[in-house]
Each structure stands twice: as structure tokens, then as C-alpha cells.
Amino acid sequence: MATRALEIAGPRRSAWRQALENVPIHVFFIVAGVLWALPAIGLLVTSLRPVGLFTVTGWWTIFTGTGGQVGIDNYRHLFDSPLLAGSFVNSILIAVPATIIPVLFATLSAYAFTWLNFPGKTIFFLLLIALMVVPLQMALIPVAQLYGFIGPPGIVKVFLFHAAFALPYATFLFRNFFLGIPHELLESGRMDGANDWRIFRTIILPLAYPAIASFAVFQFLWVWNDLLVGLVFAGNT
């Protein structure tokens, strides 16, 4: 019995020791999480304060009793604005095509770079990946000059710009995902008489849904939160 008691007490002491060793790690992540959430909390509190106050005092003064009253007047003014609905529709008309177009073209190009053999395959892929290091802001003026020959500003130019800049990263992401698909699946499809298009449509795409969904979420949020490209290419649309 004494031996059994020692065997039980040993793991208990080990568990307590491990828990104490993890305390600094837990404290660090709790502090990091609070610091990470502070800007969002400040933004929320500021949105509830009167305009005349949040321009002269910090949001934290609301907790000291000197920051004034909170309310939803700012949100009422926002939703009563006739421009909100139009801006919301414009954002959807830009973000949705700017997400769908890269998915369509990048999955096809990633399939080609992964499974097809053609001259200059490696060189073309490296050139495509090199485009990922080009900042979006550097292309604004050259593309604006190019767009000037095409026609007046519009929403189409905005989502085409976003779609073009998303293609290199999307192709890189999908190609890395396709490399993890067993080649035997493609060979079995070819043995059944399927061509590349049918293999891509019936085998590759269903397996690539997780990668496509991940890219689509990040691309949609990126385009939705962008303001610079819309101001440059959409004009007063």
C-alpha cells in the first residue's frame, strides 16, 4: 500500500511542478492578449463617445468618470446617412469579383505548375513568385497611367487591380497545397480515361476546398478593408 501511495503522489507532484513551470508562459500570453485587444477596446469605446470629447480626451477617461457619457448617437448618424448603402454596395461589387477571379485563375495556373510539363516551367514560376515582393503602392502610378488610356475611373478597374496583385500569392499557395496531393490519384483518373480538365474539376478542386476557402477569406477581408486603391481607381463612382 505504501508503494502504491508513493506511486500516486509522484505523478501528482510532477503535475503540480509542471503547472507552476507553465505559470510564466500563461501570464505572458494573457498580458500579450490584453495588449493586443486594447486598440479594439479603445476603438469600441471611442465610437460610443460624443465627437466633441474623443477629439480632446483619451478613451480611457470613460473609466475615470471624466470622459463624458456613452451612447449610440454616432451609430444613429452613420446609419441615417444616405451614402452608407451606396458605399456598402460598392464594397461588395469590388470585394466579391476581386476574390473570385484570383481563385479561378490561380487554381488553374497552380495545377499547370504542379502537374504539367512545359518549356520554361521553373523560370515562369520563379518570375511569378518574384512579383510577390512588389509592393502594391509602387504599381499605383504606372497602372493609373495605363488605365488612363482605357477609359474613365470605375469599379471594374479596382477589382481587376486587386485580382492581378492576388494572383502570384494565390498561385504559390495553391501549388504548395497541390504538391501534397498523391500523384496516384491523378494516375487512377487517367487510367479511367479522364483528361486534365476532368481531373482538375473532379479530383483536384474538391480536395483543394480548404486552401481555396482560406485564401478567399483573407483576400475578401483585404480588399474589403482597402481604401487606397478604391480612391485612386474608382474616383467618384
Residue environment code for 104-141, b if the CB has 16+ CB neighbours within 10 A, otherwise e? ebbbebbbbbbbeeeeeeeeebeebeeeeeeeeeebee
pLDDT attached to residue 105: 94
Whether the full predicted model's pTM is greater than 0.85, yes or no, is: no
Helix, strand, coil shares of the chain, percent, nearest 5, are: 80, 0, 20
Q: How far apart are the first and last CA of the chain?
A: 83
Q: How far apart are CA 229 and CA 164, in angstroms?
A: 13
pLDDT by residue for the chain (237 residues), tens only, comes to: 545 544 454 555 566 677 677 778 888 999 999 999 998 988 888 888 887 777 777 778 877 776 667 788 888 888 888 888 788 888 999 999 999 999 999 999 999 999 888 888 889 999 988 988 888 888 888 888 877 766 666 788 888 999 999 999 999 999 999 999 888 888 888 888 888 889 888 889 999 999 999 999 999 999 999 888 888 887 665
Confidence at residue 222, expressed as pLDDT on a 0 to 100 scale: 93
- 178 touches 204 (CB < 8 A): yes
Residue 202's identity, in one-letter code, is T
Domain 81-233 bears CATH identifier 1.10.3720.10? yes
Phi, psi of 118 (to 5 degrees): -150, 155
Q: Where are the domains of the chain?
A: 2-76, 81-233
